[in-house]
Amino acid sequence: MSTNHESSRAAPELEAFRGEVRAWLQDNCPESLRKRWPDPFAEFSVLRTLRKGDSAIWLEAMIEKGWTAPTWPREYGGGGLSRHQNAILKDEMARINAPPPLLGMGLSMIGPTLLDLGTEAQKKAHLPKIITGDTRWCQGYSEPNAGSDLANIQTKAEDRGDHFIINGSKTWTSGGHLATWMFCLVRTGKYEKKQQGISFVLFEMDQPGITLKPIRLISGDSPFCETFFDNVKALKENVIGKVDEGWSVAKRLLQHERSSIGESPGQPSGENSRVPQLVKLAKHYLGEDKGRIANPELRTDIIRHLINTKAFKLTIKRAFDEAKVGASSGDTTSMFKFYGSENVQAKHELMLEVMGSNALAWEGEDFSDTELETLRIWLGAKAATIYGGSSEIQLNIIAKRVLGLPE
């Protein structure tokens, strides 16, 4: 573990790095994009505007720096930053409301899993294209009869020598209509326990035999699909880990997913991110009293939310520090997922309370952009405690594997 002496020695270097980052962002982030960070459910709208206008300029600049994947190794196109440097980059981006140039399951889920468990050939084949946004990924986990009981998957993959032929279906495929690749759990072998005989495979979405059926949500969006496979091909070179032993790979990816949900762009990473926006909205809609939010009850609720969010961020930092010295289990990501999703719902509830009837706007020129999107985001946030493993499942994992409580 780092000593205080080491930390103090590193501090001037980190402050110098902060100055470099601040200057670079000032020169390279287009002014038109400095509004506020995307909501946690903006991934698919970001994908649609990826190569357009100032978003394209911003993306190319960040790709050149390696900062679409700041902590990934430089050899694959990443930035090679330390965790502390990455935290500084996030803070400086939040300071000017610079949006992440790229979002998606490639960066948050399959990429980190490949770094952990992929072969060198798999890393070289997939990581650079994830970093540039040239590939977009979706997840083939849940099935009609395999949601919380994920190991109950029935999608089958038949061995054909150098490849598998896949038949079956998946559901809740986020962004399937935009994805170019899928990472997927398939049944490849016989088993005594359900977790056996499962393989973790990658395959392209643009091939015969894949049918997508959009699922429409209460918010009016259709970010999810049902996905049907009819003799779909997956090369064996794209099996992550060993054939029939994909359950451990699946669990590793879920740890990355839960961590990313807990640390989603909707969660503030610096003092000038989403929480100050909530304070600003409160002062606008509720008025001010000596510089404070006029409504004392909501002022208390907002302060409590700010404190809880800060405590959550410090808990994540502590867990990462403990993980570096082997004192923390990967199952602590369930804490991130549980509290991160509960906290983001709490924030959007507060936004509705602060904005009152203005938050119920759905369409019309008389409303601001914030008013028109607030209710949609609030509705979308209801899914945060379900996808990636429900809050109830996360609490069970925390109880058993983190706290060691008896069943």
- Active-site residues: which are they? 257
Q: Is 219 left (phi over 0), alpha (psi -120 to 50) or beta?
A: alpha
Nearest to 264 by CA among 251, 252, 273, 253: 273
Helical H segments across 206-246, by residue range: none
H/E stretch holding 124 reads helix 120-132
Backbone angles phi, psi at 377, to 5 degrees: -65, -40
Report CA dihedral (79, 82, 88, 90) to the nearest 10 degrees.
Answer: 60
Contacts of the segment 17-23: beta carbons below 8 A, 24+ positions apart: 17/85, 17/88, 18/88, 18/91, 18/92, 21/88, 21/89, 21/92, 22/92, 22/95
Phi, psi of 129, rounded to the nearest 5 degrees = -75, -30
User: What is the pairing mode between strands 288-289 and 198-204?
Assistant: unpaired
